[in-house]
A = this chain, B = another copy of it.
């Protein structure tokens, strides 16, 4: 495991909210990250779909890790935008983020959130784009 991957896993493991949602950091690359969770009842909204806040968490956090890996350290999300394109029903949900543009102190990232059915079929549920900034950056 690379030093950066170790740092990413340490940071992920020190996020109580990720634990509270049952999320796991599935994989990381040099400028990408994948986070997944199982849609338990407590993560749903009034129609039994994953709540938009859950998909937002996945998009936000996957981009934060993709950008952090590209920038090489701890980061903050500055902003993001998410489009919900289909309800996430049952099973598992996975967010895959990658860095689209990186400079010294910020990375623009994109994430796609998929519902994964029991047979492994994937359905795109949400698409996001956002800005990650180095944590040491004074705003």
Contacts and interface: CB of A to CB of B under 8 A. Distances in A.
B124 A100 contact: yes
A81 B129 contact: yes
Number of copies of this kind of chain in the complex = 4
Interface in A75-134: 76-86, 100-101, 103-106, 108, 110, 112, 124, 127-129, 131
A4 interface: no
Given A56-B60, A77-B84, A84-B78, A43 B15 contact: no
Nearest to A63: B52
B131 A54 contact: no
A67 to B, nearest CB: 12
Nearest to A54: B17
Contacts of A85: 100-101, 103, 108
Given A60-B53, A77-B84, A84-B79, A46 B14 contact: yes
Interface string A1-36: 000000000010011111111000000000000000
Contacts of A54: 17, 53, 57
Contacts of A19: 42
A74 B57 contact: no
